[in-house]
Amino acid sequence: MATIWKSTNQRSTNQVTNRTIFGTILTSWSRQQKLAMTAGVAMLGVLLVMSACSEQSAKPALVGVSSNPSTQTAPSAAAITAPAITAVPVAAAKKSPRKRPANVTYTDANSGISFLYPRKFVLTSGNDALPQFAGLGAALMNFVQPGGVAVATVEVPDGSYPGTDFASAFFNVNVNRSVSEQECAHFALADSHNVNGGSIDSQKVKIGPTEMETTSNFSASPMTQTETQYFHRYENGDCYEYILSLGTAGYGIKDNAEPVNRDVVFAKLEKILATVKIKTAPVEQQPEAEQTVGAAAGGK
């Protein structure tokens, strides 16, 4: 039994010793752990406070508005949705094509003459305004005195009368400042129809509002025929001459050619003549005669 007691006593002794050592060690580590845990908790608290402060200071920076307009960022399309604007197509107004006038006005400041002519006709003026009779050479002026000057010529375009014997037609204006009013009423060329070969007889006609002296002439060759009408008008001290001429190619020269309607051609040329206007020269005012002393005395 003593052995058993000793054994039991040893166990209790050992247990006490072990408990004492373990308690001492446990007490020692608990303090260190407490210090470490306290320090860790303190550091964790500091870190948490610093993290919270940094987050709070960072948020205003993200939403802050810069004072410089160039550095401002545009709001995203997802954040702001602008109302959709639907463009209504406007029907473009249709512009009607501007038509060019059928007639053109010619004006010569030197002679004071103006007239209208079809845009499709061909106009020449000055030294180039000397027309040609169809196959018969230059058209001569018909003044009784030299000194005539060509002003302008309007030619009917070739091919204006297809299928006919039409060769050429023109309207010509000349002016002569060397003839009197009485001489302007006469013509120099002899009428081919006058068997006596005398000067061409003239007659008065009215073209539009203007009265003129007129005569005509006819000439022909084996290949061509030319009919010409002359008109004279005296105004502003000058004699104006207008020539209307039609040339044909003669029958049988062109295959299957019909004779052109002469009345139609001359009617177009006369329309140009009817638009002729001559600028009236200003009338010079004569100075009033001064009254003499005797005349004034006699009037008392």
pLDDT digits (tens, 9 = 90+) for 7-22: 444 444 444 445 544 4
In the structure encoding, which two tokens stand for residue 202, read together? 């003239």
* CA–CA gap between residue 244 and residue 269 (Å, rounded): 6
**At residue 61, does pLDDT exceed 90?**
no
Whole-number pLDDT of residue 200: 59
CATH of domain 103-278: 3.40.1000.10
What is the dihedral sign for C-alpha 127, 130, 136, 142?
Answer: negative
Q: What is the pLDDT of residues 181-239, one digit of tens each?
A: 999 999 998 665 555 555 556 789 999 888 999 999 988 887 888 999 999 999 999 99
| Weakest-pLDDT range from 92-101, 218-227, 281-290 | 281-290
Full DSSP string of 10-23: HHHHHHHHHHHHHH
